[in-house]
Amino acid sequence: MALDTAPVRVGILGMGTVGQGTVRVLQRNADEIRRRVGRELRICHAAVRKPERLHGLELDARVSADPWAVVRDPDIDVVVEVMGGIDPARALTLAALESGKHVVTANKALLALHGNEIFAAAQARGLMVAFEAAVAGAIPIVKTIREGLAGNRIQSLMGIINGTSNYILTQMYRESWDFERALAAAQELGYAEADPSLDVDGGDAAHKITLMASVAFGIPVDFAHCHVEGIRHLQRQDVAFAAELGYRIKLLGITRRCDDGVELRVHPTLIPASHLLASVEGPFNAILVHSDAAGQSICYGRGAGGDPTASAVVADLVDVARTMTADPSNRVPHLAFQADALTALPLLPMAAVESAYYLRIEAANRPGVLAQVAAVLAAHGVSIEALIQRERLGAETVPIVLVLHRCREADLDAALVQMAQLPVIGGEVLRLRIENIDQQG
Ligand SMILES: NC(=O)c1ccc[n+]([C@@H]2O[C@H](COP(=O)([O-])OP(=O)(O)OC[C@H]3O[C@@H](n4cnc5c(N)ncnc54)[C@H](O)[C@@H]3O)[C@@H](O)[C@H]2O)c1
Ligand SMILES: N[C@@H](CCO)C(=O)O
Ligand code: NA
Protein backbone atom coordinates (compact mmCIF):
# COMPACT_ATOMS: atom_id res chain seq x y z
CA MET A 1 0.00 0.00 0.00
CA ALA A 2 1.40 3.44 -0.98
CA LEU A 3 2.08 5.72 1.97
CA ASP A 4 0.22 9.04 2.11
CA THR A 5 2.85 11.75 1.71
CA ALA A 6 0.55 14.78 1.56
CA PRO A 7 1.14 17.29 4.36
CA VAL A 8 -0.91 16.88 7.52
CA ARG A 9 -2.94 20.10 7.63
CA VAL A 10 -2.89 21.59 11.12
CA GLY A 11 -5.15 24.32 12.46
CA ILE A 12 -4.11 26.01 15.68
CA LEU A 13 -6.27 27.87 18.20
CA GLY A 14 -4.38 30.40 20.30
CA MET A 15 -1.00 31.95 19.69
CA GLY A 16 0.30 32.61 23.18
CA THR A 17 3.21 30.96 24.99
CA VAL A 18 2.44 27.40 23.85
CA GLY A 19 1.05 28.33 20.42
CA GLN A 20 4.14 30.34 19.53
CA GLY A 21 6.37 27.59 20.91
CA THR A 22 4.58 25.07 18.70
CA VAL A 23 5.15 27.19 15.59
CA ARG A 24 8.82 27.62 16.47
CA VAL A 25 9.43 23.92 17.11
CA LEU A 26 7.61 22.86 13.94
CA GLN A 27 9.64 25.34 11.92
CA ARG A 28 12.99 24.60 13.55
CA ASN A 29 12.69 20.83 13.34
CA ALA A 30 10.70 20.55 10.10
CA ASP A 31 13.27 18.32 8.36
CA GLU A 32 13.73 16.07 11.38
CA ILE A 33 9.96 15.68 11.79
CA ARG A 34 9.43 14.92 8.10
CA ARG A 35 12.13 12.20 8.31
CA ARG A 36 10.26 10.69 11.27
CA VAL A 37 6.72 10.92 9.95
CA GLY A 38 7.25 10.68 6.20
CA ARG A 39 5.13 13.77 5.68
CA GLU A 40 5.13 17.43 6.59
CA LEU A 41 3.18 18.78 9.57
CA ARG A 42 1.99 22.09 8.12
CA ILE A 43 0.16 24.81 10.05
CA CYS A 44 -2.37 25.96 7.48
CA HIS A 45 -4.74 28.05 9.58
CA ALA A 46 -4.25 29.86 12.89
CA ALA A 47 -6.67 31.66 15.19
CA VAL A 48 -4.79 34.70 16.48
CA ARG A 49 -6.57 37.19 18.67
CA LYS A 50 -3.72 39.66 19.10
CA PRO A 51 -1.38 39.55 16.05
CA GLU A 52 0.61 42.47 17.50
CA ARG A 53 1.89 40.06 20.19
CA LEU A 54 3.54 37.63 17.77
CA HIS A 55 6.97 39.19 18.35
CA GLY A 56 8.25 38.69 14.79
CA LEU A 57 7.10 35.06 14.54
CA GLU A 58 6.79 34.16 10.86
CA LEU A 59 3.53 32.36 10.31
CA ASP A 60 3.03 31.14 6.75
CA ALA A 61 -0.64 30.29 7.24
CA ARG A 62 -4.12 31.69 6.92
CA VAL A 63 -4.82 33.79 10.02
CA SER A 64 -8.29 34.38 11.48
CA ALA A 65 -9.29 36.28 14.57
CA ASP A 66 -12.18 33.86 15.06
CA PRO A 67 -11.29 30.33 16.25
CA TRP A 68 -14.52 29.00 14.74
CA ALA A 69 -13.12 29.79 11.28
CA VAL A 70 -10.32 27.28 11.96
CA VAL A 71 -12.60 24.61 13.39
CA ARG A 72 -14.99 24.93 10.44
CA ASP A 73 -12.22 24.99 7.81
CA PRO A 74 -12.77 21.85 5.68
CA ASP A 75 -9.09 21.80 4.70
CA ILE A 76 -7.82 21.04 8.22
CA ASP A 77 -7.05 17.51 9.47
CA VAL A 78 -5.98 18.23 13.06
CA VAL A 79 -6.86 21.06 15.43
CA VAL A 80 -4.33 22.07 18.08
CA GLU A 81 -6.14 23.76 20.98
CA VAL A 82 -3.72 25.95 22.92
CA MET A 83 -5.96 28.84 23.87
CA GLY A 84 -6.95 27.47 27.28
CA GLY A 85 -10.07 27.96 29.40
CA ILE A 86 -13.36 26.09 29.26
CA ASP A 87 -15.56 28.34 27.15
CA PRO A 88 -15.34 28.40 24.19
CA ALA A 89 -12.57 25.73 24.20
CA ARG A 90 -15.04 22.96 25.06
CA ALA A 91 -17.48 23.88 22.28
CA LEU A 92 -14.64 24.32 19.77
CA THR A 93 -13.12 20.94 20.67
CA LEU A 94 -16.45 19.14 20.34
CA ALA A 95 -17.15 20.93 17.05
CA ALA A 96 -13.73 19.97 15.69
CA LEU A 97 -14.48 16.33 16.49
CA GLU A 98 -17.98 16.67 15.07
CA SER A 99 -16.46 17.76 11.77
CA GLY A 100 -14.05 14.79 11.70
CA LYS A 101 -10.87 16.51 12.88
CA HIS A 102 -8.44 15.01 15.36
CA VAL A 103 -7.53 17.23 18.32
CA VAL A 104 -4.27 17.86 20.12
CA THR A 105 -4.71 19.85 23.32
CA ALA A 106 -2.61 21.29 26.15
CA ASN A 107 -5.76 22.13 28.09
CA LYS A 108 -5.78 20.05 31.28
CA ALA A 109 -8.57 22.12 32.86
CA LEU A 110 -10.85 21.28 29.96
CA LEU A 111 -10.05 17.55 30.02
CA ALA A 112 -10.21 17.24 33.81
CA LEU A 113 -13.69 18.78 33.81
CA HIS A 114 -15.09 17.52 30.50
CA GLY A 115 -12.77 14.69 29.49
CA ASN A 116 -15.41 11.96 29.70
CA GLU A 117 -17.64 13.83 27.25
CA ILE A 118 -14.76 14.76 24.93
CA PHE A 119 -13.16 11.30 24.84
CA ALA A 120 -16.56 9.70 24.21
CA ALA A 121 -17.21 12.09 21.32
CA ALA A 122 -13.81 11.25 19.83
CA GLN A 123 -14.31 7.53 20.38
CA ALA A 124 -17.70 7.60 18.67
CA ARG A 125 -16.13 9.06 15.54
CA GLY A 126 -12.87 7.11 15.55
CA LEU A 127 -10.83 10.25 16.23
CA MET A 128 -7.91 11.03 18.50
CA VAL A 129 -7.70 13.56 21.33
CA ALA A 130 -4.03 13.70 22.26
CA PHE A 131 -3.06 15.47 25.48
CA GLU A 132 0.59 14.87 26.36
CA ALA A 133 1.16 18.62 26.67
CA ALA A 134 -1.64 18.86 29.23
CA VAL A 135 0.22 16.79 31.82
CA ALA A 136 3.70 17.79 32.99
CA GLY A 137 4.67 19.71 29.85
CA ALA A 138 7.58 18.17 27.98
CA ILE A 139 7.72 15.02 30.11
CA PRO A 140 6.24 12.10 28.14
CA ILE A 141 4.32 10.87 31.19
CA VAL A 142 1.06 10.05 29.43
CA LYS A 143 2.98 7.95 26.92
CA THR A 144 5.04 6.37 29.70
CA ILE A 145 2.02 5.29 31.73
CA ARG A 146 -0.22 4.44 28.80
CA GLU A 147 2.34 2.58 26.69
CA GLY A 148 5.70 2.13 28.38
CA LEU A 149 4.18 0.69 31.58
CA ALA A 150 1.24 -1.05 29.88
CA GLY A 151 2.38 -4.43 31.24
CA ASN A 152 2.15 -3.27 34.86
CA ARG A 153 -0.43 -2.97 37.57
CA ILE A 154 0.24 0.60 38.69
CA GLN A 155 0.04 1.17 42.45
CA SER A 156 0.66 4.89 42.83
CA LEU A 157 1.77 8.10 41.19
CA MET A 158 3.25 10.98 43.07
CA GLY A 159 4.44 14.07 41.30
CA ILE A 160 5.62 17.62 41.26
CA ILE A 161 3.35 18.65 38.43
CA ASN A 162 2.97 22.41 38.68
CA GLY A 163 6.03 24.29 37.52
CA THR A 164 4.85 27.64 38.87
CA SER A 165 4.38 26.40 42.45
CA ASN A 166 7.62 24.51 42.37
CA TYR A 167 9.43 27.59 41.11
CA ILE A 168 7.85 29.67 43.93
CA LEU A 169 8.78 27.11 46.63
CA THR A 170 12.31 26.89 45.23
CA GLN A 171 12.77 30.66 45.32
CA MET A 172 11.36 30.80 48.87
CA TYR A 173 13.82 28.13 49.97
CA ARG A 174 16.93 29.09 47.99
CA GLU A 175 16.64 32.88 47.79
CA SER A 176 14.31 33.64 50.72
CA TRP A 177 11.97 35.42 48.29
CA ASP A 178 8.48 36.04 49.48
CA PHE A 179 5.50 34.45 47.76
CA GLU A 180 4.39 37.51 45.74
CA ARG A 181 7.80 38.20 44.28
CA ALA A 182 8.27 34.58 43.21
CA LEU A 183 4.81 34.41 41.63
CA ALA A 184 5.42 37.59 39.62
CA ALA A 185 8.67 36.10 38.29
CA ALA A 186 6.92 32.83 37.34
CA GLN A 187 4.34 34.81 35.40
CA GLU A 188 7.04 36.80 33.65
CA LEU A 189 8.78 33.56 32.65
CA GLY A 190 5.60 32.14 31.00
CA TYR A 191 5.10 29.29 33.51
CA ALA A 192 1.86 30.47 35.10
CA GLU A 193 -1.69 29.96 33.90
CA ALA A 194 -3.62 32.97 32.62
CA ASP A 195 -5.34 32.79 36.03
CA PRO A 196 -2.41 32.05 38.35
CA SER A 197 -4.69 31.07 41.22
CA LEU A 198 -5.00 27.77 39.34
CA ASP A 199 -1.28 27.27 39.95
CA VAL A 200 -0.91 28.45 43.53
CA ASP A 201 -4.20 27.07 44.86
CA GLY A 202 -3.49 23.61 43.49
CA GLY A 203 -6.19 23.43 40.78
CA ASP A 204 -3.78 22.96 37.90
CA ALA A 205 -1.93 20.12 39.65
CA ALA A 206 -5.33 18.61 40.49
CA HIS A 207 -6.36 18.70 36.84
CA LYS A 208 -3.16 16.84 35.94
CA ILE A 209 -3.25 14.19 38.69
CA THR A 210 -6.91 13.54 37.87
CA LEU A 211 -5.97 12.80 34.26
CA MET A 212 -3.01 10.66 35.31
CA ALA A 213 -5.15 8.63 37.73
CA SER A 214 -7.50 7.79 34.87
CA VAL A 215 -4.66 6.70 32.63
CA ALA A 216 -2.97 4.73 35.42
CA PHE A 217 -6.00 2.90 36.82
CA GLY A 218 -8.50 2.89 33.94
CA ILE A 219 -11.09 5.01 35.78
CA PRO A 220 -13.35 7.75 34.39
CA VAL A 221 -12.09 11.32 34.79
CA ASP A 222 -13.46 12.59 38.12
CA PHE A 223 -12.03 15.97 39.05
CA ALA A 224 -14.89 16.72 41.46
CA HIS A 225 -13.54 14.13 43.92
CA CYS A 226 -9.95 15.34 43.92
CA HIS A 227 -8.89 16.91 47.24
CA VAL A 228 -7.11 20.21 46.49
CA GLU A 229 -4.91 22.42 48.66
CA GLY A 230 -2.41 24.95 47.35
CA ILE A 231 0.67 26.76 48.63
CA ARG A 232 -0.73 30.23 49.27
CA HIS A 233 -0.90 29.73 53.05
CA LEU A 234 2.74 28.61 53.38
CA GLN A 235 5.19 30.97 55.00
CA ARG A 236 8.94 31.16 54.62
CA GLN A 237 9.23 29.93 58.22
CA ASP A 238 7.51 26.66 57.21
CA VAL A 239 10.03 26.11 54.45
CA ALA A 240 12.79 26.77 57.00
CA PHE A 241 11.28 24.55 59.75
CA ALA A 242 10.84 21.74 57.23
CA ALA A 243 14.48 22.04 56.20
CA GLU A 244 15.56 21.92 59.84
CA LEU A 245 13.61 18.70 60.27
CA GLY A 246 15.25 17.14 57.19
CA TYR A 247 12.42 17.76 54.71
CA ARG A 248 11.56 19.89 51.68
CA ILE A 249 8.05 21.15 51.01
CA LYS A 250 6.69 20.33 47.55
CA LEU A 251 3.23 20.68 46.08
CA LEU A 252 2.48 17.06 45.22
CA GLY A 253 -0.23 15.41 43.21
CA ILE A 254 -0.80 11.95 44.66
CA THR A 255 -2.97 9.09 43.51
CA ARG A 256 -2.81 5.66 45.06
CA ARG A 257 -4.76 2.44 44.65
CA CYS A 258 -5.93 1.13 48.05
CA ASP A 259 -8.02 -1.90 49.07
CA ASP A 260 -11.25 0.08 49.14
CA GLY A 261 -10.69 2.64 46.38
CA VAL A 262 -8.36 5.29 45.02
CA GLU A 263 -6.78 8.26 46.77
CA LEU A 264 -6.69 11.40 44.64
CA ARG A 265 -5.23 14.50 46.23
CA VAL A 266 -3.07 17.59 45.81
CA HIS A 267 -1.49 19.37 48.75
CA PRO A 268 1.81 20.80 49.94
CA THR A 269 3.78 17.87 51.31
CA LEU A 270 6.96 17.40 53.31
CA ILE A 271 9.25 14.86 51.66
CA PRO A 272 12.65 13.70 52.88
CA ALA A 273 15.39 16.08 51.70
CA SER A 274 17.41 13.08 50.57
CA HIS A 275 14.77 11.84 48.12
CA LEU A 276 15.25 12.46 44.40
CA LEU A 277 11.95 14.37 44.22
CA ALA A 278 13.26 16.87 46.77
CA SER A 279 15.96 17.98 44.36
CA VAL A 280 13.46 18.81 41.61
CA GLU A 281 13.64 22.59 41.53
CA GLY A 282 12.36 25.63 39.63
CA PRO A 283 9.89 24.94 36.80
CA PHE A 284 10.94 21.31 36.58
CA ASN A 285 8.43 18.52 37.17
CA ALA A 286 8.95 14.90 38.16
CA ILE A 287 6.59 12.00 38.60
CA LEU A 288 7.37 8.93 40.66
CA VAL A 289 5.48 5.84 39.52
CA HIS A 290 5.21 2.68 41.62
CA SER A 291 4.17 -0.33 39.59
CA ASP A 292 4.37 -4.05 40.24
CA ALA A 293 6.78 -5.19 37.55
CA ALA A 294 8.88 -2.09 36.85
CA GLY A 295 9.10 -1.10 40.54
CA GLN A 296 9.87 2.60 40.94
CA SER A 297 10.35 4.86 37.91
CA ILE A 298 10.87 8.61 37.89
CA CYS A 299 10.16 10.83 34.90
CA TYR A 300 11.79 14.24 35.12
CA GLY A 301 11.85 17.28 32.88
CA ARG A 302 10.49 20.72 32.11
CA GLY A 303 6.86 20.98 33.12
CA ALA A 304 6.12 24.45 31.81
CA GLY A 305 7.20 27.05 29.26
CA GLY A 306 6.69 27.56 25.54
CA ASP A 307 9.22 25.29 23.87
CA PRO A 308 9.00 22.44 26.43
CA THR A 309 5.22 22.30 26.14
CA ALA A 310 5.48 22.57 22.38
CA SER A 311 7.74 19.51 22.47
CA ALA A 312 4.75 17.50 23.71
CA VAL A 313 2.27 19.17 21.34
CA VAL A 314 4.46 18.29 18.36
CA ALA A 315 5.05 14.73 19.60
CA ASP A 316 1.27 14.33 19.75
CA LEU A 317 0.97 15.72 16.21
CA VAL A 318 3.54 13.14 15.11
CA ASP A 319 1.51 10.39 16.82
CA VAL A 320 -1.69 11.57 15.17
CA ALA A 321 -0.01 11.82 11.76
CA ARG A 322 1.38 8.31 12.09
CA THR A 323 -1.87 6.69 13.11
CA MET A 324 -4.61 8.78 11.51
CA THR A 325 -5.11 6.13 8.84
CA ALA A 326 -4.98 3.23 11.32
CA ASP A 327 -8.10 1.32 12.34
CA PRO A 328 -9.34 3.31 15.41
CA SER A 329 -9.87 0.13 17.42
CA ASN A 330 -6.16 -0.66 17.09
CA ARG A 331 -4.93 2.71 18.33
CA VAL A 332 -3.77 3.34 21.90
CA PRO A 333 -6.99 4.15 23.84
CA HIS A 334 -7.36 7.71 25.15
CA LEU A 335 -7.34 6.63 28.80
CA ALA A 336 -4.98 3.67 28.27
CA PHE A 337 -7.74 1.10 28.85
CA GLN A 338 -10.44 0.20 26.32
CA ALA A 339 -13.35 2.63 26.70
CA ASP A 340 -15.74 -0.17 27.67
CA ALA A 341 -13.26 -1.48 30.27
CA LEU A 342 -13.07 1.62 32.49
CA THR A 343 -14.00 0.91 36.12
CA ALA A 344 -15.50 3.54 38.39
CA LEU A 345 -13.44 2.71 41.52
CA PRO A 346 -14.53 4.82 44.51
CA LEU A 347 -12.39 7.89 45.18
CA LEU A 348 -11.66 7.96 48.89
CA PRO A 349 -12.42 10.94 51.17
CA MET A 350 -9.46 12.57 52.92
CA ALA A 351 -10.74 11.35 56.29
CA ALA A 352 -9.78 7.83 55.19
CA VAL A 353 -6.21 8.76 54.21
CA GLU A 354 -3.32 7.78 56.50
CA SER A 355 -0.32 10.05 56.70
CA ALA A 356 2.33 11.52 58.93
CA TYR A 357 1.91 15.25 59.59
CA TYR A 358 3.68 18.54 60.23
CA LEU A 359 1.78 20.97 62.48
CA ARG A 360 2.69 24.59 63.09
CA ILE A 361 0.73 25.96 66.02
CA GLU A 362 0.76 29.59 67.07
CA ALA A 363 0.43 29.22 70.82
CA ALA A 364 0.52 31.48 73.87
CA ASN A 365 4.07 32.15 75.04
CA ARG A 366 3.74 30.58 78.49
CA PRO A 367 4.65 27.33 80.24
CA GLY A 368 2.45 24.24 80.00
CA VAL A 369 1.11 24.85 76.49
CA LEU A 370 2.92 21.94 74.93
CA ALA A 371 1.54 19.57 77.56
CA GLN A 372 -2.03 20.65 76.70
CA VAL A 373 -1.45 20.18 72.97
CA ALA A 374 0.14 16.76 73.52
CA ALA A 375 -2.77 15.69 75.73
CA VAL A 376 -5.32 16.54 73.01
CA LEU A 377 -3.35 14.62 70.40
CA ALA A 378 -2.90 11.63 72.71
CA ALA A 379 -6.63 11.56 73.43
CA HIS A 380 -7.17 10.90 69.72
CA GLY A 381 -4.41 8.30 69.43
CA VAL A 382 -2.03 10.67 67.61
CA SER A 383 1.60 10.57 68.74
CA ILE A 384 4.43 13.05 68.37
CA GLU A 385 7.69 12.10 66.66
CA ALA A 386 9.62 15.40 66.83
CA LEU A 387 9.11 19.00 67.84
CA ILE A 388 10.63 22.46 67.56
CA GLN A 389 9.71 25.15 70.05
CA ARG A 390 11.47 28.49 69.73
CA GLU A 391 11.82 31.06 72.46
CA ARG A 392 10.67 34.51 71.37
CA LEU A 393 11.37 36.88 74.24
CA GLY A 394 8.50 39.21 74.92
CA ALA A 395 6.28 37.80 72.15
CA GLU A 396 2.65 36.99 72.93
CA THR A 397 2.64 33.87 70.76
CA VAL A 398 5.33 31.44 69.59
CA PRO A 399 5.27 28.81 66.88
CA ILE A 400 5.34 25.20 68.03
CA VAL A 401 6.20 22.80 65.23
CA LEU A 402 5.33 19.13 65.63
CA VAL A 403 6.02 16.12 63.45
CA LEU A 404 3.35 13.47 64.03
CA HIS A 405 3.55 9.74 63.44
CA ARG A 406 1.26 8.24 60.81
CA CYS A 407 -2.40 8.32 61.76
CA ARG A 408 -5.82 8.46 60.10
CA GLU A 409 -6.70 11.93 58.93
CA ALA A 410 -10.12 11.62 60.61
CA ASP A 411 -8.41 11.26 64.02
CA LEU A 412 -6.22 14.28 63.44
CA ASP A 413 -9.22 16.31 62.22
CA ALA A 414 -10.99 15.56 65.50
CA ALA A 415 -7.89 16.49 67.52
CA LEU A 416 -7.53 19.79 65.64
CA VAL A 417 -11.14 20.73 66.33
CA GLN A 418 -10.55 20.18 70.06
CA MET A 419 -7.19 21.95 69.95
CA ALA A 420 -8.74 25.06 68.40
CA GLN A 421 -10.87 25.36 71.56
CA LEU A 422 -7.84 25.57 73.87
CA PRO A 423 -7.50 29.17 75.15
CA VAL A 424 -3.70 28.91 74.71
CA ILE A 425 -3.96 28.44 70.93
CA GLY A 426 -3.51 31.93 69.54
CA GLY A 427 -4.16 31.57 65.82
CA GLU A 428 -4.06 29.26 62.89
CA VAL A 429 -2.87 25.66 63.10
CA LEU A 430 -1.11 24.82 59.86
CA ARG A 431 -1.31 21.13 58.96
CA LEU A 432 0.88 19.71 56.21
CA ARG A 433 1.17 16.05 55.23
CA ILE A 434 4.45 14.18 55.18
CA GLU A 435 5.23 11.42 52.70
CA ASN A 436 8.14 9.27 53.70
CA ILE A 437 8.24 8.20 50.10
CA ASP A 438 10.67 5.32 50.12
CA GLN A 439 8.66 3.33 52.64
CA GLN A 440 5.45 3.42 50.60
CA GLY A 441 4.00 1.97 47.42
N1 LIG B 1 2.41 27.95 29.48
C2 LIG B 1 2.70 26.70 29.82
O3 LIG B 1 3.80 26.42 30.30
C4 LIG B 1 1.71 25.59 29.58
C5 LIG B 1 2.15 24.27 29.75
C6 LIG B 1 1.24 23.22 29.53
C7 LIG B 1 -0.05 23.50 29.17
N8 LIG B 1 -0.46 24.81 29.04
C9 LIG B 1 -1.83 25.03 28.61
O10 LIG B 1 -1.80 25.51 27.27
C11 LIG B 1 -2.87 26.40 27.05
C12 LIG B 1 -2.33 27.73 26.57
O13 LIG B 1 -1.48 28.24 27.58
P14 LIG B 1 -0.52 29.46 27.28
O15 LIG B 1 0.43 29.53 28.42
O16 LIG B 1 0.02 29.41 25.91
O17 LIG B 1 -1.55 30.66 27.43
P18 LIG B 1 -1.45 32.12 26.83
O19 LIG B 1 -2.38 32.97 27.59
O20 LIG B 1 -0.02 32.53 26.70
O21 LIG B 1 -2.00 31.90 25.34
C22 LIG B 1 -3.34 31.68 25.02
C23 LIG B 1 -3.59 32.42 23.73
O24 LIG B 1 -4.89 32.08 23.27
C25 LIG B 1 -5.50 33.25 22.82
N26 LIG B 1 -6.93 33.10 22.90
C27 LIG B 1 -7.68 32.87 24.00
N28 LIG B 1 -8.97 32.83 23.67
C29 LIG B 1 -9.03 33.02 22.34
C30 LIG B 1 -10.07 33.09 21.41
N31 LIG B 1 -11.35 32.95 21.79
N32 LIG B 1 -9.77 33.28 20.10
C33 LIG B 1 -8.50 33.42 19.70
N34 LIG B 1 -7.44 33.36 20.53
C35 LIG B 1 -7.72 33.18 21.84
C36 LIG B 1 -4.98 34.36 23.74
O37 LIG B 1 -5.11 35.65 23.12
C38 LIG B 1 -3.54 33.94 23.90
O39 LIG B 1 -2.71 34.47 22.89
C40 LIG B 1 -3.65 26.44 28.36
O41 LIG B 1 -4.67 25.48 28.31
C42 LIG B 1 -2.61 26.05 29.39
O43 LIG B 1 -3.19 25.46 30.53
C44 LIG B 1 0.39 25.85 29.22
N1 LIG C 1 0.95 26.66 34.73
C2 LIG C 1 1.42 25.33 34.51
C3 LIG C 1 1.86 25.18 33.10
C4 LIG C 1 2.21 23.75 32.76
O5 LIG C 1 1.10 22.94 32.75
C6 LIG C 1 2.58 25.07 35.46
O7 LIG C 1 3.07 26.02 36.09
O8 LIG C 1 2.98 23.92 35.61
NA1 NA D 1 3.62 15.61 29.16
pLDDT band at 441 (very low <50, low <70, confident <90, very high): low
CATH code, 195: 3.30.360.10
Check whether residue 80 and residue 171 sit in a common domain.
Answer: no
Closest ligand by atom to 57 CA: 1
User: How many Å apart are CA 422 and CA 361, to the nearest integer?
Assistant: 12
**Would residue 414 count as lying in a domain?**
yes
158 in Cβ contact with 291 (< 8 Å): no
199 Cα–ligand 2 center, Å: 7
Average pLDDT, the chain: 95
Closest ligand by atom to 282 CA: 2
Interval 373-424: pLDDT, tens: 999 999 999 999 999 998 777 888 899 999 999 999 999 999 999 999 999 9
Predicted ipTM beyond 0.90? yes
CATH code, 110: 3.40.50.720
Check whether residue 207 and residue 169 sit in a common domain.
Answer: yes
Residue 147: which residues within 8 A CB-CB, separation 6 or more?
Answer: 332
**Which of 59, 139, 309 should be mutated for ligand 1, with most atoms under 8 A from CB?**
309
| Residue 277, CB-side half-sphere exposure with 13 Å CA sphere | 29
Which DSSP state fits 147? I
Check whether residue 187 and residue 266 sit in a common domain.
Answer: yes
Catalytic center residues: 208
| Residue 353, CB-side half-sphere exposure with 13 Å CA sphere | 24
Lining ligand 2 with CB less than 6 A are 137, 162-164, 191-193, 199, 204, 303-304
Neighbours of ion ligand 3 (CB under 5 A): 132, 135-136, 139, 312
Residue 329: which residues within 8 A CB-CB, separation 6 or more?
Answer: none
Is residue 101 annotated as involved in ligand binding?
A: no
Q: What sign does the CA torsion over 391, 392, 397, 403 have?
A: negative
Total number of domains in the chain: 3
Check whether residue 320 and residue 425 sit in a common domain.
Answer: no
305 in Cβ contact with 193 (< 8 Å): no
368 Cα–ligand 2 center, Å: 46
Mean pLDDT of 315-337: 95
**Would residue 105 count as lying in a domain?**
yes
Check whether residue 286 and residue 150 sit in a common domain.
Answer: yes
Check whether residue 373 and residue 334 sit in a common domain.
Answer: no
Domain housing 393: 351-439
What is the DSSP annotation of 293-350?
TTEEEEEEEE-SSHHHHHHHHHHHHHHHHHHTTS-GGGSPPTTSS-GGG---PPBPPG
User: How many Å apart are CA 318 and CA 323, to the nearest integer?
Assistant: 9
Domain boundary among 275, 303, 331: 303
Residue 29: pLDDT above 80?
Answer: yes
Residue 440: pLDDT above 90?
Answer: no
**pLDDT score at 2:** 61
Check whether residue 299 and residue 312 sit in a common domain.
Answer: no
Closest ligand by atom to 50 CA: 1
Domain boundary among 321, 341, 361: 341
Is residue 132 annotated as involved in ligand binding?
A: no
Mean pLDDT of 225-251: 96
Check whether residue 134 and residue 152 sit in a common domain.
Answer: no
Check whether residue 240 and residue 367 sit in a common domain.
Answer: no
Lining ligand 1 with CB less than 6 A are 14-19, 47, 49-50, 67, 82-84, 88, 106-108, 133-134, 137, 190-191, 193-194, 304-305, 309
